[in-house]
Copies of this chain bind each other. A is one copy, B any other.
Amino acid sequence: MKYYDPKRFRSQDSLGYLSKMAHSLMHDCADEILAGHEISFMQWIAMRKLREGLALTASELCRAMSHDNGALTRMLDQLEAQGFLQRQRSEEDRRVVTLKLTAKGERKLDEVTALVVGRLNEVLENFTRGELDELTRLLKKLIGSLQDWRAQRDGEAA
């Protein structure tokens, strides 16, 4: 089934363009409220993932965030230097480094989460609960489709 047609294609309606815009504007919006709070939007997401137990190591974070390996190492370097994070070499598998928020990191995360959540609620003023839930569901579905597509491609390559 074909949704988009090259002849009638309008960038305004394309998910490629729309997801770029949503991300750019969200990022700006978050950065603005985080300015002066020592961590960036990306660092906030990383810290959330650690707090929520969705990632324990750098490579898990990379996968969970679709983020670059090298960029992540350097982001973690910063968080560690700021005292928000501790790295510890795992004993079971000496390749992996286990990540853990420090008490200071936990406090910072709580402080910043309150700000970001407040801002999100502000921006979503005109959304009904149903709309927000549906947008969330459909974005997750889109993300899932893209991940499946990539997994399938990588599977074929190997």
Docked CA distance A82–B22 (Å): 30
In Å, the complex CA distance between A32 and B149 comes to 12
Residues in B with CB closer than 8 Å to A17 are: 45, 48
Question: Within the complex, what minimum Cβ distance (angstroms) separates A153 from chain B?
Answer: 8
Interface residue stretch chosen among A2-10, A72-80, A86-94, A99-107: A2-10
Kindly report how many copies of this chain are found in the complex they form together.
2
Q: Which residue of B lies closest to A51 (CB)?
A: B11
Residue of B nearest to A45 (CB): B17
| Residue among A20, A125, A147 having the largest count of chain B Cβ atoms under 10 Å | A20
A26 to chain B minimum Cβ distance, whole angstroms, is: 5
Say yes or no: A9 contacts B117, CB within 8 Å: yes
- How near does chain B come to A70, taking the closest CB pair, in angstroms? 15
Task: State whether A146 and B15 are in contact (beta carbons under 8 Å apart), knowing that A121-B4, A134-B134, A139-B135 are contacts in the complex.
Answer: no
Tell me the minimal C-beta distance from A84 to chain B in angstroms. 16
A-side residues, CB < 8 A to B, are 1-6, 9-30, 32, 41, 45, 48-49, 52, 54, 65-67, 110, 113-114, 116-117, 120-127, 129, 131-132, 134-136, 138-143, 145-147, 149-150, 153
3 shortest interchain CB distances as A-B pairs: A23-B23, A25-B146, A24-B66
